[in-house]
């Protein structure tokens, strides 16, 4: 039951994008069309789950025993960057189809603060291994849901008449704000 | 301090080593050709090819998912380079160019003053824009800004002007235009298109057998864009210099300007535009579609054959032209005298067609030197028979003709073979068509003491061009109307005179011409030493009797029979058109037949079936119901410079000259630009006054 609440909480209530506002760059950059947005969402789920596993292990078995918790931000950046690069090289060789669909998003994720944020939140909340995996995957799923909804809205915006001054990123940010307000309706449903 | 640094450094080293090893172990060999092609592409990353940037395009070309000509920006040159790089043969990319569909510009009435944001799409949001006309261009220039290649400029008339040389056919303007009046049209589409009733067409454009877009080229001349004007003519007429000289302008008969004063001198304007190119000495580029690998043989190098060869070549087919005479041009060369159409000028027109890559064999005659079966065996996918109408009709006055009697076409041919041919004494020409007038004016120039034209009906019934009749009268040629030849008067073997009989006109016959009847007791002898029979021509179809010819049905007028709507004969791969199908007609009709048959042959060879033209326009729209045009001030038409009478006689100097640029632009302003959806009476009146003050 706790895990179910964790899933609901991390997808809707504490949506990593709309409630905590992490991962804003791909959210604005890759949300003009639905197709790439889906690709981005899937890539984030994949990478953030993998990155969380590695950072959790590094934190609990390397940094904590040495009392070096304060180094976690620096170390996580290093670990995530190396990991993403490795994953890219690996799937380019092993799975051409997956690479073609995820390929161009992987380098973008290297610097995605949502992935970093999830890794750090795992530590902050003191999750055990299972909780960590569930939280990471569902938080990333929340990101995917948000970017998917947002891309759909932007596709509609593209064909409607927007005042010149508001075109492009300006109207996108306003839209994101309105969506964020809508997600506030979930607040308080879980702890 | 040491431990944290070591851990951090250790992780970094492990990551670096891990990545280094991974890069080796999981190394994927990338095709070096991708980078090579990327260097050849223009690097605009415009997405015009439909792929995500130039690198994706390069990868697609290497994988064979895209053609070498995928890049719309680079067009032919880049495609050729890439093809060479890939070791492939070049597939030519047919250029596609943006064309506006509105000629109205500032003419449409305004619903309200628009002072908003300077963008058509913004203006469009308010009740579909400030124009009364739903169709028309708003003129705020959104397309100009959308074009990344600087191919669009805003003209004086408030309409965008497209530069075909710069347009790459990317379609950015099409997407930007909220009115949807810009379309990307390939040359093939234009060649295959025939007028439809569903289109809004100016009367001149409906009347012209070749369907030349008259208002458009006049508009170009008005704006001083003479090259664009000529390219517009060439879309439907590959022989503009010759047409500009000999065409009797059926289009001007339909000109709405006649309601107020005289028709626009359309043919003078065409001649001006065509001469402009010739005098510049540089030929305008005419695009040719990629090779289709189909072979067509055209038999007959007259206007119909030349026109068909021109359009079939432009559609990408391989064309070979067979001509029985030593030079191309058919009746234009051998039937029209030098003073009307100088042969050097005809040569320039013909060379323009041959330059597209048409192969020619002259001096070979169908039936004598080759057969249709031979052409088929040689690999022709289709054959176009355009043998013309070269056999003279005869009066049958005597079984054996006395010396001094010659038929019209033979007579005119003599002067093409030897321009210094002379004639002596009095000459009589029988007939009322253009050949008769040509023969009369030619004999006058060749030294005849006097020339009389004998015609059995009255002047009103003469089928010759009115301009030609007037010119003949000016030159002192006598006319004997209502007068029919009865018998030759001979002295030994030589001709001494012609006995003629007076005629009277009766009821109109099936042609609508009044049939003449002889009046008894009116015999009279006109003395003469030369008599030219120019009483009509018909096709010479003797070759059909020879061996090695498929059976082709003929009509009772001795023409080849074919289906009216396709010009295809009973033998599917043989097509016909021009004079040998219709009987003797105008040059512009032959040109029209050439393009029409090119359409049929194109569909026959590529698709096997020839689709009918839906709603094909054949008749004219009804005449205007107005007896005056508000806002149109009467202004006289310009006149071509003409050589003086003294200079005409005894030489074959071209009689009519070309109007100058000032006159051309004045005349172009007389065009009412019919066939547009919008018309603002008040604005038109203002513009007419402005033009008047400028001109006057």
pLDDT given at position B686: 65
Nearest to B8 among A75, A89, A90 (CB): A75
Tokens read off for B35: 């980078």
B404 CB neighbour count, 10 Å cutoff: 21
Structure tokens at B370: 């080759």
Contact B216, B206 (CB under 8 A): no
From A74, which residue of chain B is nearest by alpha-carbon distance?
B8
Q: What is the pLDDT of residue B439?
A: 92
Q: What is the mean pLDDT of residues B146-173?
A: 78
Contact B279, B617 (CB under 8 A): no
Q: Do B26 and A90 touch (CB under 8 A)?
A: yes
- Chain B: closest CA distance from residue A76 (Å): 10
Q: List CB contacts (< 8 A) between B121 and chain A.
A: 161
CB contact under 8 A, B18 and A82: yes
Structure tokens of B651? 């030489």
Q: What angle do CA B403, B406, B409 make, to 5 degrees?
A: 160
Cβ–Cβ of A92/B26 closer than 8 Å?
yes
The predicted model gives B244-257 an average pLDDT of: 89
* Weakest mean pLDDT among A117-121, B321-325, B630-634, B665-669: B630-634
Instruction: Look at the alpha carbons of A71, A77, A80, A85 in this order and tell me if their dihedral is positive or negative.
Output: negative
Compare all CA atoms of chain B with the CA of A67 and give the residue at the minimum distance.
Answer: B4
Which chain A residue has its CA at the smallest distance from B23's CA?
A89
Q: Which residue's structure tokens are 């959308």?
A: B146
Helix (H) or strand (E) holding A79: helix A72-94
In the three-class reduction of DSSP (H, G, I as helix; E, B as strand; rest coil), residue B368 is classed as coil
Residues of chain A with Cβ-Cβ distance to B11 below 8 Å are 58, 75, 78-79
Smallest CA–CA separation between A82 and chain B, in Å?
6
Asked if A79 lies within 8 A of B11 by C-beta distance, the reply is: yes
Mean pLDDT of A126-135: 91
CB A136 within 8 A of CB A49: yes
Best residue of B7, B23, B126 to probe chain A, by most A CBs closer than 10 Å: B7
Q: Does B6 touch chain A (CB under 8 A)?
A: no
**pLDDT band at residue B692, thresholds of 50, 70 and 90?**
low
pLDDT bin (cut points 50, 70, 90) of residue B91 is very low
Number of A/B CB contacts below 8 angstroms equals 50
Chain B contact set for A90 (CB, 8 A): 22, 26
Query: Does residue B604 have a pLDDT over 60?
Result: yes
**Residue B681's pLDDT band (cuts 50, 70, 90):** low
Task: Identify the closest residue of chain A to B4 by CA–CA distance.
Answer: A68
Confidence band of B696 (pLDDT split at 50, 70, 90)? very low
Residue A133's pLDDT band (cuts 50, 70, 90):
very high
- Is the Cα dihedral A145, A146, A147, A151 positive or negative? positive
Q: What is the pLDDT of residues A42-85, one digit of tens each?
A: 888 988 999 999 999 999 998 888 888 888 888 998 888 888 88
The C-alpha atoms of residue B89 and residue B177 are separated, in whole angstroms, by 37
At B24, give phi and psi (nearest 5°).
Answer: -75, -50
Per CB-CB distance under 8 Å, the chain A contacts of B18 are 82, 86
The highest-level CATH class for domain B392-538 is alpha beta
Q: What ipTM did this prediction achieve?
A: 0.75
Q: What is the mean pLDDT of residues B586-615?
A: 91
Confidence of residue B115 (pLDDT cuts 50, 70, 90): confident
The dihedrals phi and psi of B202, each to the nearest 5 degrees, come to -65, 150
Report the gap between the CA of A15 and the closest CA in chain B (Å): 31
CATH 3.30.70.20 domain position(s) in chain B: 95-192
Q: DSSP string covering B122-177, please?
A: HHHTTTT-SBS-SSS---S-HHHHH-TTS-EEE-TTSSEEE-TTT-----HHHHH-
Every domain of chain B with CATH number 3.50.50.60 lies at 392-538
| Residue B79 near residue B71 (C-beta atoms within 8 A) | yes
State the average pLDDT for chain A. 85
B19/A79 CB distance under 8 A: no
Percent share of chain B, pLDDT over 90: 23
B31-93 in CATH: which number?
1.10.15.40
Per residue in B96-106, pLDDT (tens digit) is: 666 666 766 56
pLDDT at B617: 86
Spatial contact of B664 and B268, defined as CB atoms under 8 Å apart = yes
CATH architecture of B95-192: 2-Layer Sandwich (3.30)
B244-264: string of b/e by CB count within 10 Å (b at 16+)? bbbbbbbbbebbbbeebeebb
Any CB–CB contact under 8 A between B470 and chain A? no
- Interchain pair B7, A63: CB under 8 A: yes
Backbone torsions φ then ψ of B18, nearest 5 degrees:
-60, -45
At B289, is the secondary structure helix, strand, or coil? coil
State the angle between helix axes of B343-354 and B303-314 in degrees (0 to 180), rounded to the nearest 10.
30
Q: Which residue has the tokens 């007791």?
A: B521
Give me the residues paired with residue B42 across strands.
none
* Whether residue B693 has pLDDT greater than 70: no
Sign of the Cα torsion A24, A27, A29, A30 reads positive
> CB burial class (10 A; 0-12, 13-18, 19+) of residue B481?
middle
pLDDT digits (tens, 9 = 90+) for B492-517: 888 888 888 888 888 877 777 778 88
Note whether B22 contacts A: Cβ–Cβ < 8 A.
yes
- Does pLDDT of A109 surpass 90? no
Q: Does B4 touch chain A (CB under 8 A)?
A: yes
How close is the nearest chain B Cα to the Cα of A93, in Å?
6
The string of pLDDT tens digits covering residues B33-57 is 777 887 888 776 665 666 666 777 7
Query: Closest to B7 (Cβ–Cβ): which among A62, A92, A161?
Result: A62
Query: Taking an 8 Å Cβ-Cβ cutoff, which residues of chain A contact chain B?
Result: 58, 62-63, 66, 68, 71, 74-75, 78-79, 81-82, 85-86, 89-90, 92-94, 161, 164
Band (B88; pLDDT cuts 50, 70, 90):
low
- Asked if B7 reaches chain A (Cβ–Cβ under 8 Å), the answer is yes
Question: What pLDDT is stored for residue B168 in this prediction?
Answer: 73
B125 touches chain A (CB under 8 A): yes
Structure tokens at B402: 């006395």
- Mean pLDDT is lowest, of A90-94, A159-163, B300-304, B316-320, for A90-94
Instruction: Detail the DSSP E strand segments found in B260-362.
Output: 295-299, 318-323, 359-362
Query: Quick check: helix, strand or coil at residue B450?
Result: strand
Nearest chain B CA: its distance from A183 CA (Å) = 33
Q: Is the pLDDT of residue B146 over 50?
A: yes
Distance from CA of B54 to the nearest CA of A (A): 15
Between CA B611 and CA B633 the distance in angstroms is 46
B23 interfacial to chain A (CB closer than 8 Å): yes
- Chain B CB contacts of A89 under 8 Å are 19, 22-23, 26
Q: What are the residues facing B454 on neighbouring strands?
A: B430, B480
Least confident of A67-81, B293-307, B592-606: A67-81
Averaged pLDDT of chain B: 84
Q: Look up tokens 């040059």; give the residue.
A: B587
Interface-testing mutation among A78, A94, A106, A162, with chain B (most B C-beta atoms within 10 A): A78
More confident residue, A133 or B94: A133
List CB contacts of B73: < 8 A, sequence separation 6 or more. B42, B44, B46, B48, B149, B168, B170
CB contact under 8 A, B8 and A78: yes
Is it the case that residue B306 has pLDDT exceeding 90? Answer: yes
Using the 8-state DSSP alphabet, how is residue B29 labeled? Answer: P
Average pLDDT over every residue of B412-423: 86
Cα–Cα distances in Å, from A73 out to A10, A76, B302?
A: 22, 5, 86
- Give the C-alpha separation, B416 to A106, whole Å: 79
User: A86, B4: Cβ pair inside 8 Å?
Assistant: no
- In this prediction, residue B121 carries a pLDDT of 85
Distance from CA of A86 to the nearest CA of B (A): 6
> CB burial class (10 A; 0-12, 13-18, 19+) of residue B91?
middle
Q: Supply the pLDDT for residue B93.
A: 47
* Range(s) of chain B covered by CATH 1.10.15.40: 31-93
Lowest mean pLDDT among A65-74, A180-189, B134-143, B524-533: B134-143
Answer yes or no: are the C-beta atoms of B327 and B362 closer than 8 Å.
Answer: yes
Q: Report in angstroms the alpha-carbon separations of B537 from A35, B107, B593.
A: 71, 49, 19
pLDDT at B523 exceeding the cut of 90? no
Sorting pLDDT into bands at 50, 70 and 90, what band is B601? very high
Look at phi and psi of residue B184 and say left if phi exceeds 0, alpha if psi is from -120 to 50, else beta.
beta
């Amino acid at each position: 039951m706790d895990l179910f609440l964790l899933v609901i909480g991390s997808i809707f209530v504490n949506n990593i994008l709309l409630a905590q506002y992490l991962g804003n760059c791909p959210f604005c950059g890759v949300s003009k069309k639905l197709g790439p947005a889906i690709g981005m969402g899937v890539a984030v789920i994949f990478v953030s789950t993998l990155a969380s596993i590695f950072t959790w292990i590094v934190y609990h078995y390397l940094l904590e025993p040495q009392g070096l918790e304060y180094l976690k931000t620096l170390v996580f950046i290093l670990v995530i960057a190396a990991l993403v690069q490795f994953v890219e090289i690996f799937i380019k060789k092993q799975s051409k189809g997956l690479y073609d669909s995820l390929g161009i998003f992987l380098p973008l994720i290297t610097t995605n603060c949502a992935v970093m944020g999830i890794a750090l939140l795992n530590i902050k909340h003191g999750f055990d291994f299972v909780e960590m995996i569930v939280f990471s995957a569902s938080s990333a799923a929340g990101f995917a849901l948000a970017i998917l909804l947002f891309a759909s809205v932007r596709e509609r915006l593209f064909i409607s008449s927007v005042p010149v001054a508001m075109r492009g990123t300006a109207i996108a940010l306003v839209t994101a704000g309105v969506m964020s307000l809508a997600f506030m309706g979930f607040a308080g449903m879980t702890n | 301090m040491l431990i944290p640094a070591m851990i951090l450094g250790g992780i970094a080293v492990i990551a670096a080593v891990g990545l280094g090893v991974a890069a080796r172990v999981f190394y994927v060999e990338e095709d070096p050709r991708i980078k090579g092609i990327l260097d050849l592409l223009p690097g605009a990353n415009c997405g015009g090819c439909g792929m995500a940037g130039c690198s994706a395009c390069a990868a697609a070309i290497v994988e064979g998912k895209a053609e070498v000509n995928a890049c719309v920006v680079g067009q032919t040159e880049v495609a050729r380079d890439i093809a060479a790089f890939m070791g492939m043969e070049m597939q030519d990319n047919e250029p596609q160019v943006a064309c506006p569909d509105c000629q109205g510009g500032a003419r449409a009435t305004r619903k309200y003053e628009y002072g908003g944001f300077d963008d058509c799409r913004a203006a469009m949001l308010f009740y579909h824009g400030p124009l009364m006309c739903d169709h028309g261009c708003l003129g705020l220039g959104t397309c100009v800004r959308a074009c990344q290649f600087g191919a669009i400029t805003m003209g004086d008339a408030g309409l965008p002007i497209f530069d075909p040389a710069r347009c790459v056919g990317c379609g950015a303007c099409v997407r930007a235009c909220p009115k949807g009046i810009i379309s990307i049209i390939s040359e093939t589409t234009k060649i295959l298109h025939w007028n439809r009733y569903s289109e809004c067409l100016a009367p001149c454009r409906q009347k012209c057998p070749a369907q030349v877009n008259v208002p458009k080229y006049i508009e170009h001349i008005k704006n001083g864009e003479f090259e664009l004007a000529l390219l517009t003519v060439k879309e439907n007429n590959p022989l503009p210099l010759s047409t500009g000289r000999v065409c009797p302008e059926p289009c001007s008969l339909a000109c709405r300007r006649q309601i107020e004063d005289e028709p626009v001198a359309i043919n003078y304007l065409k001649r001006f535009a065509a001469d402009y190119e010739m005098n510049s000495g540089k030929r305008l580029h005419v695009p040719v579609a990629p090779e289709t690998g189909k072979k067509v043989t055209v038999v007959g190098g007259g206007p119909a054959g030349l026109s068909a060869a021109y359009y079939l070549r432009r559609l990408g087919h391989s064309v070979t032209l067979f001509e029985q005479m030593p030079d191309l041009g058919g009746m234009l060369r051998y039937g029209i005298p030098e003073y009307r159409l100088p042969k050097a000028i005809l040569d320039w027109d013909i060379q323009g067609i041959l330059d597209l890559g048409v192969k020619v064999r002259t001096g070979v005659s169908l039936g004598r030197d080759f057969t249709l079966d031979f052409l088929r065996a040689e690999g022709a996918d289709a054959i176009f028979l355009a043998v013309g109408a070269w056999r003279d009709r005869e009066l049958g006055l005597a079984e054996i003709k006395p010396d001094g009697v010659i038929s019209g076409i033979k007579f005119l041919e003599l002067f093409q073979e030897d321009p210094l041919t002379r004639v002596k004494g009095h000459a009589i020409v029988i007939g009322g068509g253009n050949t008769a007038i040509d023969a009369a004016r030619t004999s006058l120039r060749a030294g005849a003491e006097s020339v009389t034209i004998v015609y059995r009906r009255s002047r009103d019934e003469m089928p010759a061009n009115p301009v030609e009749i007037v010119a003949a009268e000016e030159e002192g040629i006598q006319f004997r109307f209502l007068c029919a030849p009865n018998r030759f008067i001979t002295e030994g073997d030589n001709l001494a005179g012609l006995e003629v009989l007076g005629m009277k006109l009766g009821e109109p016959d099936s042609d609508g011409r009044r049939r003449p009847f002889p009046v008894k007791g009116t015999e009279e002898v006109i003395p003469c030493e030369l008599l030219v029979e120019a009483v009509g021509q018909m096709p010479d179809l003797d070759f059909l009797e020879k061996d090695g010819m498929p059976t082709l049905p003929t009509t009772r007028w001795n023409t080849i029979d074919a289906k009216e709507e396709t010009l295809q004969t009973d033998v599917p791969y043989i097509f016909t058109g021009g004079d040998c199908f219709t009987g003797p007609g105008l040059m512009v009709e032959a040109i029209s037949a050439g393009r029409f048959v090119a359409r049929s042959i194109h569909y026959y060879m590529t698709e096997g079936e020839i689709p009918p033209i839906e709603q094909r326009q054949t008749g004219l729209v009804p005449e205007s119901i107005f007896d005056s045009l508000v806002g149109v001030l009467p202004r006289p038409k310009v006149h071509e410079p003409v050589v003086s009478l003294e200079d005409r006689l005894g030489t074959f100097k071209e009689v009519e000259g070309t109007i100058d640029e000032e006159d051309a632009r004045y005349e172009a302003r007389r065009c009412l630009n019919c066939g547009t959806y919008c018309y603002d009476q008040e604005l038109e009146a203002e513009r007419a006054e402005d033009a008047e003050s400028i001109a006057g």
